[in-house]
Amino acid sequence: MNSNNRPLSPHLDIYKLPLSALLSIVHRGTGAFLSIGSIVLVWWLMALAGGEEAFVSAQAFMGSFFGRLILLGWSFALFFHLANGIRHLIWDAGYGFDKAVVEKSSLVVLAAAVFLTASVWVTALLFATGA
């Protein structure tokens, strides 16, 4: 089909992505990452169901540097996807489309993701029972 007169997408090699566009593709990226990362959740629950020995070795791995690195990335991806997902639900309801509002809500999403990630890690490192 001849489509010469159709509008062109931005030329991604030379186009500077606005923050909202960057967050949009990161939303998709974190979604795919969390789908794969769900293996970690199931693996942890399976270890817990498998008895004390399996659970202790799973906890040891999670507590190691590499394990914590995975969990840090995992938790930030989760909270980013959560915060940006709430923004998507607000957009779905028809609100917040003005350019200035979108720029502001992008920053709110990033701040919320950092705040929630930090909160859960502070909880784990300082307030965990039996620490």
Partner 1 sequence: MSLRSPLGLAKGLGSAKEGLHHWWAQRVTAIALIPLTVLFAFQVALLSMSDYKTVIECIGSPWSAALIVSLIVAAFYHAALGMQVIYEDYIGHKAVRIGAIMATNLLLFLLGAAGVIAVVRIALGG
Q: Tell me whether residue 20 or residue 44 sits nearer to partner 1 (CB atom).
A: 44
Residue 123 to residue 126: CA distance in whole angstroms = 6
Q: Tell me whether residue 17 or residue 125 sits nearer to partner 1 (CB atom).
A: 125
For residue 117, what are its two tokens? 């990630």
Asked if residue 69 lies in contact with residue 106, where contact means CB atoms within 8 angstroms, the answer is no
Binding partner 1 (rule: CB under 8 A), the pick from 70, 82, 102, 114 is 82
Q: Tell me whether residue 3 or residue 100 sits nearer to partner 1 (CB atom).
A: 3
Binding partner 1 (rule: CB under 8 A), the pick from 19, 22, 25, 48 is 48
- Supply the DSSP symbol for 7: P
Residue 129 to residue 131: CA distance in whole angstroms = 5
- φ, ψ of residue 4 to 5 degrees: the values are -65, -30
Contacting positions for partner 1 (CB under 8 A)? 1, 28, 31-32, 34-35, 38-39, 41-42, 45-46, 48-49, 52, 55-56, 62-63, 75, 78-79, 82, 85-86, 88-89, 92, 116, 119-121, 123-124, 127-131
